[in-house]
Amino acid sequence: MQNCIETNGLTKKFGKKTALKDFDLTVELGGIHAIVGSNGAGKSTLFRLLLGVTTPTSGSAMLLGNDCQSLTPDVRGRVGYVNEEHTLPAWMTAGSVKKFQQSFYPQWNENIYKSVVGYFDVDPKQKVSGLSRGERAGLNLAMALAQSPNLLILDEPTLGLDVVARQSFLEAVMFTETEGNTTIIYCSHQMEEIERVADKLIIMEKGVLQNNSSPDAFVSRISYWIADFGGKMPAREKIPGFLSARDIDGIHHVMVADQDKSFGSVLTQLGATAVTPNTVNLERAVNAFLTKNHNTPGSINAGSQG
């Protein structure tokens, strides 16, 4: 079966800086795939590569089975892209922007447009520059969905939206049924949104793919242990799957990846007494992953850390 997105060894360097490194990502058709990663993790670079506006240093990227370096107008017509600014011709009225956009997409679905834009209070006579952030996001999403794309990339679409607009936006994304049976790539920093919308969770960190599975499967990869090393923790290199550790009141709280129940005995062998396993939620699991290689001060043996 054809994959929605497929990258092989995708690498992008800007001078000496590597934005994306040997990136092998496969996104199957259907469902909502959330992408998380801290700022600078390479998400924007990935999207730019996928849309063909940047050339990879090496490797390849495919969108709906087409090489991203030579996307035809036809393929572009089947891929929607919504960025965090909701870039639209600000000088036009909402109504004329809609007509403008509609002219490019023969498969335009007016019912979808109406039902989505109905979530938001968009006056067609209003200039786009005069719309609120939420209205603008709504208009943009309505048009993106009405294009009935096979793939819709949403890049932090709810950034700066208030609670009501955010709620409407999520509902529209999740419950609008398009003819294209749209696969959605949803990039966000909001763990709450991710938890609600994601079928698959893709985690990027420093240009490297860290995870591509269901959120539940991801959370189950992470375990959280509270161990008493008597004040001095062993070097992190000795702890398998180490993600992060914190020293709270002399007791160490250790987060590890891909370890089963026998990890308790590993800790005991390393000199810990009173080892207790604990559960962890999605947000903490993701954070642990995203910060694992960051040399945050006090990640080890710091008395208190927020």
Partner 1 sequence: MFELYKSEFSRYRKWSLILLGALLGVFLLVSKLKPILEGDALQNFAFTAFAVMGGLIFGVVQMLLHKRTNNWTYLVHRPLSAHKIYAAIAGAGFTVVFIAVALPWWIMTTSLDLFTNNVVDNRHYVYPLFLLLTSYITYLIGSLVILNPNKGVIALLIMLYAVLAPAPDSTLTQFLPSLAFVGVFLYLNFMSFKPDLSTHTKKPLAIILMAVPMSLGLAFLLMLSTAVFYHIPLFILDKHPDNHPVKGSYSYLWAEVTPAKRLAYALEGSDHPKAAYFIKQVELADEGYISPDHWTFPRRGQMYNKDRQFALRDSTSNTSWQFSHDSMLLEGRNVTTRQRVGVVGMNGFLDSADLATSADRFDEVPFMVGDKLLATTKVIYSVNFADRVLTVKFKPEAGEYFISRPQPNTKPDYASVATNKRTLIFDKAEFFDENILVVPEYSLPHPVDPANITYCWTFQLVDGYLFLCHGRDYFGFGRGGTELIHAKLGGTMEMIARREYTVRKLPSWVNNFNDIVSPAATYLSAPVLRWIEPAETGNFTFTELRAREFEPYIYVLMIMFQIFSVIAAFLMARRHSLNKAQTATWLVLTAALSLPALVAFFLMNPWRVEKADS
Partner 2 sequence: MSKTGTVNIQIVTGDARPIFKQIVDGIRMQIAHGDLQTGDKLPSVRGLAMQLTINANTVAKAYAELTAQGLAEARQGLGLFVAEPRQLLSEEEKNKRLNTAIETFVNDVVYLQIPEEDIKARLSEALTKIGRLKNTPKQDS
Find the part of the chain contacting partner 1 (CB under 8 A) among 73-81, 162-170, 214-222, 249-257. 73-81
**Could you give the dihedral angle defined by the CA atoms of residues 85, 89, 94 and 95, in that order, rounded to the nearest 10 degrees?**
-140
Residue 28 CB contacts under 8 Å (≥ 6 apart), including other chains: 1, 3, 4, 183
Residues 93-152 that bind partner 1 (CB under 8 A): 96, 99-100, 103-105
Among 4, 23, 37, 52, binds partner 1 (CB under 8 A): 52
Rounded to 5°, angle at Cα 187 from 38 and 152: 155
91 near partner 1, rule: CB under 8 A? yes
- Smallest distance, partner 1 to C-beta of residue 226, A: 41
Phi–psi pair at 165, nearest 5 degrees: -65, -40
284 near partner 1, rule: CB under 8 A? no
Partner interacting with residue 103 (select from partner 1, partner 2, none; CB below 5-8 Å by kind): partner 1
249 near partner 1, rule: CB under 8 A? no
Nearer to partner 2 (CB atom), residue 163 or residue 235: 163
Bridge partners of 211, per DSSP, are: 203
- Single out the residue of 74, 69, 44, 47 nearest to residue 57, CA to CA: 69
Among 31, 77, 264, 277, binds partner 1 (CB under 8 A): 77
Tokens (6 digits) for 2: 């054809």
Phi–psi pair at 300, nearest 5 degrees: -125, 135
Residue type, 98: K
Nearer to partner 1 (CB atom), residue 91 or residue 174: 91
Among 30, 65, 89, 230, binds partner 1 (CB under 8 A): 89
Nearer to partner 1 (CB atom), residue 34 or residue 144: 144
58 near partner 1, rule: CB under 8 A? yes
Partner interacting with residue 175 (select from partner 1, partner 2, none; CB below 5-8 Å by kind): partner 2
Q: Long-range pairs for 290-299 at CB < 8 Å and ≥24 separation?
A: 290/36, 290/37, 290/38, 290/41, 290/203, 290/205, 291/38, 291/243, 291/244, 292/205, 292/242, 292/243, 292/244, 293/205, 293/206, 298/247, 299/244, 299/245, 299/246
- Smallest distance, partner 2 to C-beta of residue 170, A: 6
Residue type, 10: L
- Smallest distance, partner 2 to C-beta of residue 219, A: 7
List contacts with partner 1 (CB under 8 A).
11, 13, 15, 44, 48, 51-55, 57-59, 71, 73-74, 76-77, 79, 81, 83-85, 87-89, 91-92, 96, 99-100, 103-105
